[in-house]
A and B are shown apart, each in its own frame.
Chain A
Amino acid sequence: MAQVASVASFGSSGQLTLGYNKLNSLWGIHLVRRTSRTLRSSSCRKFDYLKSLEIEEKINKIRWCQTANGARFLLSTNDKTIKLWKVSEKKLKNVSNLNVDPSVRHGNGNLVGSSPVQSPKGYAPPRSINGGAVRRTLPPISSDFVFPPGGIPSLHLPTVWSHETALVARCRRVYANAHAYHINSISNNSDCETYISADDLRINLWNLEVSDQSFNIVDIKPVNMEDLTEVITSAEFHPSHCNMLAYSSSKGTIRLIDMRQSALCDRHAKLFEEQEAPGSRSFFTEIIASISDIKFARGGRYILSRDYMTLKLWDVNMEAAPVATFKVHEYLRPKLCDLYENDSIFDKFECCLSGDGQRVATGSYSNLFRVFGAVPGSEEASTLEASKSPNRRLVQTPTKSGNRLFNVRGGDSPGSEINGGQYDFTSKLLHLAWHPVANVIACAASNSLYMYYA
């Protein structure tokens, strides 16, 4: 079974991660140094004993935290558990010149010398069958032992030298058992101290240093679950105002909340919602209105949202309608019925912005993604394909014909035919991330990661 990338994310200085499900591993690619490597493949299948549910081995979201001491920190989450990872280079060490030769270290009748010697001169501690260290009794220093004032010349410190470095990822903290539903987003606060995690009905606030408690700040769970009409689909903190956060719902609304007002933020400060045009209502209206991803844009002045058919840019100061709407794959509108049949209509596409906020991008089917100019007056709209084809150059669509599609297509791209009316709904490009400073987009399509330089 092929691995499918489930998330891609750029860090503040351009490092990138990509999460896979199935193996629950993360790939890290450091663009600055142009090296790529697997960071970890960890954690076996998990099980929620309270709910008797198997927790899918899939990383839903990754967020980078503040770097410190050259080590990078990131938060990852699967459906239930958030983890804080530290990725750093660690020197591998060898120890030699010990005081007591480990191979003769059974002087006092303890069965310790039987352990295998790992490094040429260092020694491994004795291990019991279950892997724990054998508790051995160190003979106590006799109470009448007198330390000579100048010290004991025959004793010396072991010599340590390091010969190589390795990239090590360690799980530093696990924030678990706070979500009854599946976690869909995590987002760091600008105070570098807290973050939020959102599931279908609740948003919790955590302190990065405290893994055993979190505060519920939003709870939209109705008393009676039959009254449930909408779920939270995504949540994000404002990039600089520590008290503001936005969350989107399956009804196509975005709520902005101010954590200063109250400890429980069930009441929103602002509600962004577009009135639907009368008469256009159909069976699919509500389904395709569901917002799959939101991002704050340009220092927090704008919010970018992605619903099934469009990408919308909202001005934080204008709640009634978005300032711009970009149609992503309007040609699919007649096919909504098919998409509903094969569940594709519930696909959650992510959206992203360039570092300068001038362009926005989001994915579509057949491994395509679209880039739009987000400044007023710009009619830039291009379609690109994520494929291995050598001819993967970015080609600008002529600005006036923004609706022409499929003008970029690799010759050997499998699974879809050009203009054949056949869309490949299995090769969807859900996850993509834009480099914070460079004009680079990373797209995760099925099991590959593609980089685009604009």
Chain B
Amino acid sequence: MAMVDEPLYPIAILIDELKNDDIQLRLNSIRRLSTIARALGEDRTRKELIPFLSENNDDDDEVLLAMAEELGSFIPHVGGVEHAHVLLPPLETLCTVEETVVRDKAVESLCKIGSQMKERDVVDWFIPLVKRLGAGEWFTARVSACGLFHIAYPSAPDLLRAELRSVYNQLCHDDMPMVRRSAGLNLGKFAATVEPANLKSDIMTFFKDLTQDDQDSVRLLSVEGCAALGKLLEPADCITNILPVIVSFSQDKSWRVRYMVANQLYELCEAVGPEPTRTELVPAYVRLLRDNEAEVRIAAAGKVTKFCGIISAQSAIQHILPCVKDLSTDSSQHVRAALASVIMGMAPLLGKEATIDQLLPIFLELLKDEFPDVRLNIISKLDQVNKVIGIDLLSQSLLPAIVELAGDKHWRVRLAIIEYIPLLASQLGVDFFDDKLGTLCMQWLGDKVYSIREAAANNLKRLAEEFGPEWAMQHIIPQVLEMINNPHYLYRMTVLSAISMLAPVVGAEVTCQTMLPVVINAAKDRVPNIKFNVAKMLQSMIPIVDSTVVDQTIRPCLMELNEDPDVDVRFFANQALLACEQVMCA
């Protein structure tokens, strides 16, 4: 066995480990394939490394995935674009493996390489590869082939183009539904490269066949194709070819297809233009909003703002708003939650008057919903309405909703509302906040659930940032410091963490005057957990406060903690002391 020179040793190991028994080592080697290629040089990379990789493709999926990814940016390592074709064989085999993520990555890399290749090389190497995959024995190859046509087609001469189109046609009618799905999914990309004449004839025929497929999964993927193809076609062609498809999809027997339409209708509107939207698609959308399947209504309700954005305010009020009213009392809570998450965005679109007349009652209704998610979704988007009508009209209903959410028995709900408090505070203003919400914020510090107490501490910090240190000094800090006398140590810990969060916001002076004494006092706590948290906190305060304070107050306290019987306390005190030293030296 040859011994390897010292500087080459790591590379030698890297190469050897391409075939190690341990998958982690193989993965590591594959990830650094470019280093190996540089060590072997361009010539030997082409002649040895790439064939080696092509032959050794019987590996774990993770390794294959990494290989597919690395090869995508390997052109410089094989000697530039003129040699790019040597990379195709290993990727071609990766296109046929049964793991979808590996195949997708291989296709992506092939596209990346193919788009850099010279036109003649594409004809000589890439197009034959596409044809081979398209006629592959197993469906995996054919699925991959569909994603390569848009790279191959532009470089192909006329005769070859006709052939490629016929191969794609076969793929659209493949026996395997997964191949048809892939053909449907990639049709938009392929269509974008096809000349207009063939687009109208061939591609539209493929499309029509896919939209009439027996398999729901194929049909629902072609919904996306509607928007993509619609953008490529002339408006007139779009109306004759795409619009009827959309309308019939919106009444498809399968709720999954209708669900897809509901999700994408607003994009389809852009494709067909304003007039057909008004005459055809608004009625279709109204039907979807009134669909008898809740999943479809959820999707439709979630897009109501986007849809109103592309139609006139008048037609939104006339056609969509009545449906929205009905949805706000829908029997499915998920429909109401989806509506609540977007409905606030309708206010700027409809203008002040319509918002007050029509939307406000709906908001108020939803704020009283029995399902907390609905209320939360309304509250989270408050800023959008505030801009249009101001907060006053809502504030009376807001408060009970907030108070109720704040005391909800599910802690996740409480957590969610805490996270919106800074937003609410900025919308409602200091006065309203002080009156109504201040006590709530303190109440959360004493919650039974740790996550709530933690969020509450963080909330105080954000409030202090919002309203300024002075306000914090008056309204937050005294109450927080008072809680340090809580008999339970976990609550005392919360106070400490609140102090550590507030300290950077309120500045050195307030910290030293009011908060530091409390912390120093807590160092005498009987619970070690408190004590080492004090040590940690003092360490975090060092950069904030004056060096004299560090020297006179913090350091003596830490010295004391450093003598503590508890090992953890000593450890953190020691850490903090080291930090002290560093600050002193600097």
**Could you list which residues of chain A lie within 8 angstroms of chain B, going by C-beta atoms?**
66-71, 73, 86, 90-91, 93, 95, 98-101, 104-105, 107-108, 118, 122, 124-125, 133, 138-142, 145, 147-152, 154-158, 160, 190-194, 209, 240-243, 259-263
B215 to chain A, nearest CB (A): 5
B432 interface residue, CB < 8 Å from A? no
When distances are taken between beta carbons in the complex, the residues of chain A under 8 Å from B139 are 66, 68
Which of B40-48, B493-501, B550-558 lies at the interface?
B40-48
- A67 CA to B139 CA in the complex, in Å? 9
Q: From B294, which residue of chain A is reached at the shortest CB distance?
A: A263
B40 to chain A, nearest CB (A): 5
- A133 CA to B56 CA in the complex, in Å? 23
- A242 and B42 contacting across the interface, CB-CB below 8 Å: no
Interface residues of B in 22-60 (CB under 8 A from A): 22, 24-25, 35, 38-45, 48-49, 52, 55-56, 58
- B21 and A160 contacting across the interface, CB-CB below 8 Å: no
B100 interface residue, CB < 8 Å from A? yes
- A48 CA to B465 CA in the complex, in Å? 49
- B215 and A190 contacting across the interface, CB-CB below 8 Å: yes
- B9 and A260 contacting across the interface, CB-CB below 8 Å: no
**Could you list which residues of chain B lie within 8 angstroms of chain A, going by C-beta atoms?**
1-16, 18-22, 24-25, 35, 38-45, 48-49, 52, 55-56, 58, 96-98, 100, 138-140, 176-178, 181, 214-218, 253-256, 292-295
- B255 and A192 contacting across the interface, CB-CB below 8 Å: no
Given contacts A154-B8, A263-B295, contact A209 B100 (CB under 8 A): yes
- B216 and A100 contacting across the interface, CB-CB below 8 Å: no
A114 to chain B, nearest CB (A): 16
- B13 and A100 contacting across the interface, CB-CB below 8 Å: yes
Q: A141-B11, A155-B4, A155-B11 are in contact. List 10 more A-B contacts (CB 8 A).
A: A68-B139, A73-B98, A101-B1, A108-B9, A125-B21, A141-B35, A151-B40, A152-B40, A156-B15, A192-B177
- B177 and A193 contacting across the interface, CB-CB below 8 Å: yes
Given contacts A155-B40, A192-B178, contact A243 B216 (CB under 8 A): yes
- A338 CA to B529 CA in the complex, in Å? 69
When distances are taken between beta carbons in the complex, the residues of chain B under 8 Å from A66 are 139, 176, 178
Given contacts A151-B42, A260-B253, A263-B295, contact A193 B58 (CB under 8 A): no
A157 to chain B, nearest CB (A): 5
Main secondary structure of the interface of B (DSSP, over half): helix
- B1 and A90 contacting across the interface, CB-CB below 8 Å: no
- A152 and B8 contacting across the interface, CB-CB below 8 Å: yes
- A260 CA to B217 CA in the complex, in Å? 11
When distances are taken between beta carbons in the complex, the residues of chain A under 8 Å from B48 are 156-157
- A259 CA to B293 CA in the complex, in Å? 11
B310 to chain A, nearest CB (A): 28
Given contacts A68-B98, A149-B41, A209-B100, contact A122 B9 (CB under 8 A): no
Q: From B25, which residue of chain A is reached at the shortest CB distance?
A: A125
When distances are taken between beta carbons in the complex, the residues of chain B under 8 Å from A68 are 98, 138-140
B67 to chain A, nearest CB (A): 14
> Would you give 12 A-B contacts (Cβ < 8 Å), ordered by A?
A90-B58, A93-B58, A99-B12, A125-B21, A141-B10, A147-B39, A151-B44, A155-B15, A157-B48, A160-B19, A209-B100, A242-B216
- A243 CA to B140 CA in the complex, in Å? 24
- A194 CA to B97 CA in the complex, in Å? 19
- A69 CA to B465 CA in the complex, in Å? 61
A288 to chain B, nearest CB (A): 38
Given contacts A125-B20, A133-B24, contact A261 B11 (CB under 8 A): no
Which of A124, A142, A242 makes the CB contact (< 8 A) with B21? A124
- A140 and B216 contacting across the interface, CB-CB below 8 Å: no
B457 to chain A, nearest CB (A): 33
When distances are taken between beta carbons in the complex, the residues of chain B under 8 Å from A147 are 38-39
Given contacts A71-B98, A151-B42, A151-B43, contact A133 B217 (CB under 8 A): no
When distances are taken between beta carbons in the complex, the residues of chain B under 8 Å from A156 are 15, 48
Given contacts A147-B39, A155-B11, contact A160 B56 (CB under 8 A): yes
When distances are taken between beta carbons in the complex, the residues of chain A under 8 Å from B24 are 133
- A140 CA to B10 CA in the complex, in Å? 7
When distances are taken between beta carbons in the complex, the residues of chain B under 8 Å from A157 are 15, 18, 40, 48-49, 52
- A260 and B10 contacting across the interface, CB-CB below 8 Å: no
B19 to chain A, nearest CB (A): 4
When distances are taken between beta carbons in the complex, the residues of chain A under 8 Å from B39 are 147, 151-152, 155
- A130 CA to B444 CA in the complex, in Å? 46
B165 to chain A, nearest CB (A): 26
- B96 and A69 contacting across the interface, CB-CB below 8 Å: yes
- B16 and A98 contacting across the interface, CB-CB below 8 Å: yes
- A252 CA to B306 CA in the complex, in Å? 50
B35 to chain A, nearest CB (A): 7
A353 to chain B, nearest CB (A): 22
Which of A133, A155, A242 makes the CB contact (< 8 A) with B8? A155
* 10 closest Cβ pairs, A-B complex: A151-B41, A101-B1, A99-B12, A260-B254, A125-B22, A68-B98, A95-B19, A147-B38, A98-B16, A151-B40
When distances are taken between beta carbons in the complex, the residues of chain A under 8 Å from B1 are 98, 100-101, 104
When distances are taken between beta carbons in the complex, the residues of chain A under 8 Å from B58 are 90-91, 93
Given contacts A69-B97, A191-B215, contact A118 B35 (CB under 8 A): no
- A241 CA to B216 CA in the complex, in Å? 9
Given contacts A98-B16, A155-B8, contact A190 B22 (CB under 8 A): no
B33 to chain A, nearest CB (A): 12
When distances are taken between beta carbons in the complex, the residues of chain B under 8 Å from A151 are 38-45
- A150 CA to B292 CA in the complex, in Å? 69
When distances are taken between beta carbons in the complex, the residues of chain A under 8 Å from B216 are 191, 242-243, 259-260
Q: From A141, which residue of chain B is reached at the shortest CB distance?
A: B10
Interface centre among A99, A118, A139 (most CB of B within 10 A): A99
Q: From B23, which residue of chain A is reached at the shortest CB distance?
A: A133
When distances are taken between beta carbons in the complex, the residues of chain A under 8 Å from B181 are 193
- B295 and A148 contacting across the interface, CB-CB below 8 Å: no
B78 to chain A, nearest CB (A): 12
- A86 CA to B61 CA in the complex, in Å? 13
- A148 CA to B41 CA in the complex, in Å? 8
Given contacts A191-B215, A263-B294, contact A152 B41 (CB under 8 A): yes
- B97 and A242 contacting across the interface, CB-CB below 8 Å: no
- A85 CA to B163 CA in the complex, in Å? 38
